[in-house]
Amino acid sequence: MNKVNASTEKVQEEEKREHVHFIGIGGYGMSAIARVMLDMGYHVTGSDVARKELTEKLQKKGAHVFIGHQKENISGADLVVYSTDIPKENVELTAAQEYSIPLIHRSKMLARLLNEKKGVAVAGAHGKTTTTSMISLVMEKTGADPTYIIGGEIMDIGSNARAGKGDFVVAEADESDGTFLEYFPQIAVVTNIEPDHLENYGGDFENLKKAYRQFLSQVKDEGTAIVCIDDNYVQDMLAEQKERISLITYGIKQDADYTAENIEPGDRTISFDVVYKGARLGRMKLSVPGMHNVYNALGTTAVCIEAGLSFEEIAVAITSFRGAKRRFQVIGEVNDVLVVDDYAHHPTEIEATLEAARSTNRRIVAIFQPQRYTRTFFLLDAFSRAFTEADEVMITDIYSPANDPEIEGVSAERLVELIKENSNANASYAASKEIVLEHLLKVVKPGDLVITMGAGDIWKVAEQLVEELGEK
C-alpha cells in the first residue's frame, strides 16, 4: 500500500469514529468515562477551567482538551456529555442545544457501558471508591480483564479507568444526585447508607433510603445484591428484597455470610481471617490500615468470588492494593513525620480515618476542611463528635461551590466551638491554608502523623508541608 492510500484510509477511519465531547473533562467521574471511550476507539475532546493531572493523562492517550469553555470547543461533536456540576448557562451546553447536538448526562453515558455487560455497581455513603478500586485491581491482577470506571485513581495502576476485554464493567454508583438509578447491574453492592446530599432529596432522609431500595430492585434477574449487614439502614431494606435475585451479606458485628475474625492491626496494614458461613476461607493481609478497609475487603471478596475467582487468587491480589488516591494516601515521611491526605468529608469517614491513623501509634494532628454549607448544616452535630481520636485538631473555612451559598449560623468557627464541647478540647480555627502550614511547621515533631481531610483543596497543605519539612 502506498503512502497516499494509507493516509486516505487513516482520514476515513478518523471520520468514521464517533466524536464525543465532555464538558468538565478533568473531573474524576468525567475523565474516567472519557478514558474508557478513548480505549474503545472514540474520538474524544473535552474542556475544563484549568489544566489538571487527569487532563494531561487524557491528552497523552489521544484526547484533545481545551482549557476554558467556548462554544467553538464542541465543533464537530456527535454527542456532548455533561455532569450535574455543569451550570445550565454553560456556553458549551447552550451551544449544543442551539446546534441540536445530542446531550447526555455523565450517568447515562456510564449506564450505556455498565448495563450492556455484567455490571458491578458499588453504591454507599462511604467506601465506594476504595471498594470499587479493590474489585477492579483484584480482577485485573487475576486476568479477568475488567472495564472499570472509578471516582479516584488506583495508586498501584495510576489510573481511574480502563476498557478491558472481559465480561465485567466495575463502576461507582453515585447516590449524591440520584443518578445511580440509571444502572441495572448484574451485581450491586451497598456499603452503607447515611443522611448525606439531602439537598438533592428534598432535605428528607426517607427519600434517599427509597432511592437505595429502588437501586437494589434494579439488579438484573438472577443477579446478586451484596450488602453490609452491619449498617442499620441496610438491614431495614433486606426484608423487601425480591427472590429473583440472590442476597449476600458481609459484616463483622452481625451474623453475615462473609465476616472477619482474628483481626490484627499493624503499622499501615491490617490482617484477618475471612470466614464464609462459618467456614474459614483463609488469611488476608491488606497493605492499607483501618477497620473500614476490612469491610471494603469483605465486600470485594464477595463480589470476586461471585464473579468466579477463588479466595486464594483474591487474597494474593489484594495484598498489592496500596489504596486509592486521597484515601489515606501517604504524601511523604520526613524525619519521622508521616504526612497523610484523605478525602474524608463526612463524620463517619473522619472517624474511620482517624481510627486508622491511631493504629500507627503516632501522635495525630488532624486538619479538616469542611465542604459545602448544606452538608455542614445537616451534619453539624455529627461533625462535632468525630474528632475523639486526634491529639490536635485544626478546622479551616468551609470549601463550597458557588451553587451552595452560605447559611446563617453555619461556619468553621461554630464547628470548632462544638468540637471543643463534644469530642476534642484541643481544637482550633485557622482562616487559611497558609496559617495551617505556618502552625504545623512550628509544632510537628518526629513521631507525629499529620493528616489533612476534606473533599476540597486541603491536600495542598499536605504536599507543601512535606516539601518544607524536606527543605528544613
* Angle at 140 (CA atoms; ends 44, 156), nearest 5 degrees: 80
Residue 261 main-chain phi, psi, to 5 deg:
-130, 165
Buried b (16+ CB within 10 A) or exposed e, 63-101: bebbeebeeebbeebebbbbbbebeeebbbbebbeeeeb
Say how far apart CA 248 and CA 303 lie, in whole Å. 9
147 close to 170: Cβ distance less than 8 angstroms: yes
The contacts of residue 227 (CB under 8 Å, 6+ apart) are 189, 190, 216, 234, 237, 238, 247, 248, 249, 250
Q: State the residue for C-alpha cell 486521597.
A: 326
Say how far apart CA 339 and CA 330 lie, in whole Å. 6
Say how far apart CA 36 and CA 40 lie, in whole Å. 6
DSSP lists the bridge partners of residue 22 as: 46, 81
DSSP H helices, 40-151, are 53-61, 91-98, 106-116, 128-141
> How distant is the alpha carbon of residue 372 from its chain centre?
17
Q: State the residue for C-alpha cell 439531602.
A: 198
Strand order in the sheet with 19-23: 64-67, 43-48, 19-23, 79-82, 103-105
Cα atoms found within 13 Å of the Cα of residue 379, Cβ hemisphere only: 24
Mind telling me the catalytic residues?
128-129, 172
DSSP lists the bridge partners of residue 285 as: 271
Q: How many CB atoms lie within 10 A of CB 330?
A: 16
